[in-house]
Structure 1
Amino acid sequence: MNRRRHALATLTVVCALTVLASPVLTLQASAAPLPPPPKQTKKTLEEVRQEIDGLYRQAATATDAYNLAEEKTKEQSEEIVKLARMIVSGREKIEDLKARAGAAARAQYRNGGLPDGAQFVLTDDPQLFLDNAGRLKEGQKATKDLLGEMTATQAELTTYAKDASINWTKLEANRVKQARAKKEINDKIEAAKKLESELAAEERARLLRLEEQEQYRNQTAWISSGVLKGLSDRTTPAGKRAVEFATAQIGKPYVWGAEGPGSYDCSGLTQTAWSAAGRNIPRTSQEQWRLLPRVDITDMRPGDLIVYYKDASHIGMYVGNGAIVHAPRPGRNVTIAGAGSMEILGVVRPG
């Protein structure tokens, strides 16, 4: 019996040791050295160019969001000021109506609760009664109209206050949108600048040449398509004034959110140029694309606006001979470029 118990105990210990040893073996196996990570391949200059271009395009999209929020903020602020003036005017009107109602009430009190006209009606003279009965009726109508006007004015004041509250909420929402867009713009621009700053001077010069070569290839392909055949460089007087204004800004720097006179972003330039020509157009490139009349590219004329990229994030003004004037991006100045040097979405005509 003792031998059997001893053998059983021994078997139990062996089993336990086997179980405990298993994870150790597993850990030892998993502790084998991992293969070295693959070497990071350096990006080509073309890849860097595409990344920088992508960042600036994202910044342009955010700039449109910023400009739209800013435009809405201005509209809401103006509406709030307008409503505030209407509220003040309404309150002054209420005070005037109250004064008039008070005067009528005091007159009735002095006459024993009867309006002035009623004193004449209660006369024993039939002719005087007939002459003044109409006056009493008119007085009653005037009192009724006075009370009705007070009620209507109070209702207007309530509506104005409600509208002002709604516009204030919208104003704050647009301010939040502005702040977010501003942060995104700055982040994208800083990221693009950082990428460019990490390049040697020679590489930065090559980067600029790559950018110019890409634009040249696109422009050449666009012209080769025959798009300019039969296209006239004649335009309207307003179109001519818009082109003259836009080209006069050549050399001024791109600054996001800027509408002149010292700097511009792309849609700030087109909006201000057409404003100088006597035509008010929307602030952002996306709104200009969405709201202005569209024309076929084969029918465009100087002064028309060419919208670029699928998200309508860039815009320039056609000046004739297959060229545009535009504010390209941060770090660049207003300049003349090939109208087909970027991906064209379509053409709109302000006037």
Structure 2
Amino acid sequence: MNRRRCAAAAITLVCGLTALTVPTTAYAAPKPPHSSDTSGSSGSNKAPSSKKSLEEVRKEIDDLYRKAGAATDAYNLAKEQSEKQSSQIVELAKSIVKGQARIDQLKTQAGAEARAQYRDAGLPPAAQLMLSGNPDNFLDGADRLRAGQQAQKNLLAEMDRTQQDLKTYTQDASDQWQKLESNRKKQAKTKKDIDQKISAAKKLESSLAKKERERLRKLEDEQQYKAQTAWLSSGILKEINNKASAQGKKAVQFATAQIGKPYKWGAVGPQSFDCSGLTSQAWAAAGHPIPRTSQEQWKQLQHVDVKDMRPGDLIIYFSDATHVGMYIGDGAMINAPRPGRDITIGGAGSMPILGVVRPDK
């Protein structure tokens, strides 16, 4: 029965799883939009459908996408964990099958020994020696007896260890399966949350008239321009003059080749990427795999001062580490901004910088 249960568990587990060129021109802040484009005495900067100012609408949309970005990071991490758990379950299932096969082999061996004893009239080996009446045979047989007893002892010990291992493998597989199911539920919930926030942001933006949407885009550019200008005004660019490593150049080359491709949450290429999907794939292409999400990149990779960063380093944005871009030199970075936007070059200081991490030492 134990054999059937273990084999059934292994089959169930297996079946369940079938489920740099760096720009040489220094990056300048973009030309700010004309103030007349974003304000006016006629009140045209209002969104008629919501009675909010265009700046309020911009902030609301930005907040929705920021929250969607945070949820995307959680989704990507859960997905990565699920993939690892699936792999672990497969390996555990293989171990269960091997362990059961070994137990069967040991049982066969033990059975052979039992049948041999039966053929000798059921007498224990020691009794057979005593009845042989030949001293030489007795001494030779005693040596064989000791060796046989030790072999039998080893056989029973190995069978016990294998049965314990099999029990452990089965329990581990059950635990991993429960974690996998929990992560799958978490993914489904997070995906729903992401979809809702992105849909709300798109709905809010689509409620604006065409001219208002154009001004909204200019407001976004203006906000980034102000942040980048303030960052450059600090004189930080005078301190950042490190050259890219060999792997850093390869990572930058990969990232620049993706410019113009659309952002898509959860995507890792080749046709679309999210922010950390772009950076993780760029470094994988450079031969140096890194964590999948921006939060894990911030947690696990080496931190460096902003003034010490070099092309290929990753700039982590916002206090919750929910956005990442790749520094390419001259005050610029490449990033996949958000849904509805394409991979592009932007100012390294165009968003609040949490810090910089370096994938290679």
TM-score scaled by length of structure 1: 0.86
Please list the CA deviations of residues 204-259 of structure 1 after superposition, one character each: whole Å capped at 9, or x if unmatched: 11111111111111001101111121322411111111111111111111000001
**Residue 359 of structure 2 aligns with which residue?**
350
Give the 3 Å change call, closer, same or farther, for CA 128–264 of structure 1 in structure 2.
same
**Residue 264 of structure 2 aligns with which residue?**
255
Task: Name which structure has the greater RCO, CA cutoff 8 Å, separation 6+.
Answer: 2
Structure 2 residue runs without a partner (length 5+): 1-48
2:311 corresponds, among 289, 302, 308, to 302
**Residue 198 of structure 1 aligns with which residue?**
207
**Residue 134 of structure 2 aligns with which residue?**
125
Contact 2:89 2:176 survives alignment (8 Å): yes
- Asked if 1:287 is matched to 2:301, the reply is no
**Residue 34 of structure 2 aligns with which residue?**
none
C-alpha deviation, 1:119, in angstroms:
4.2
1:189 corresponds, among 168, 185, 198, to 198
1:227 corresponds, among 236, 249, 254, to 236
Quote the Cα distance in structure 1 between the aligned partners of 2:193 and 2:90. 30
Quote the Cα distance in structure 1 between the aligned partners of 2:297 and 2:278. 12
**Residue 22 of structure 2 aligns with which residue?**
none
Quote the Cα distance in structure 2 between the aligned partners of 1:64 and 1:333. 19
Question: Which deviates more from structure 2 when the two are superposed, residues 300-309 or residues 222-231?
Answer: 222-231
Contact 1:253 1:332 survives alignment (8 Å): yes
Amino acid paired to 2:188: A
Contact 1:252 1:263 survives alignment (8 Å): yes
C-alpha deviation, 1:42, in angstroms:
2.0
Contact 2:92 2:169 survives alignment (8 Å): yes
C-alpha deviation, 1:115, in angstroms:
5.7
**Residue 23 of structure 2 aligns with which residue?**
none
Quote the Cα distance in structure 2 between the aligned partners of 1:121 and 1:247. 87
Quote the Cα distance in structure 2 between the aligned partners of 1:121 and 1:224. 102
Q: How does 1:144-293 map to 2 (within 5 A)?
A: 144-293=153-302
Identity %: 62
Quote the Cα distance in structure 2 between the aligned partners of 1:220 and 1:278. 35
**Residue 34 of structure 1 aligns with which residue?**
none
**Residue 13 of structure 1 aligns with which residue?**
none
Quote the Cα distance in structure 2 between the aligned partners of 1:155 and 1:312. 44
Contact 2:242 2:308 survives alignment (8 Å): no
**Residue 95 of structure 1 aligns with which residue?**
104
C-alpha deviation, 1:305, in angstroms:
0.5
Contact 1:243 1:317 survives alignment (8 Å): yes
What is the total number of aligned residue pairs between the two structures?
312
C-alpha deviation, 1:120, in angstroms:
5.1
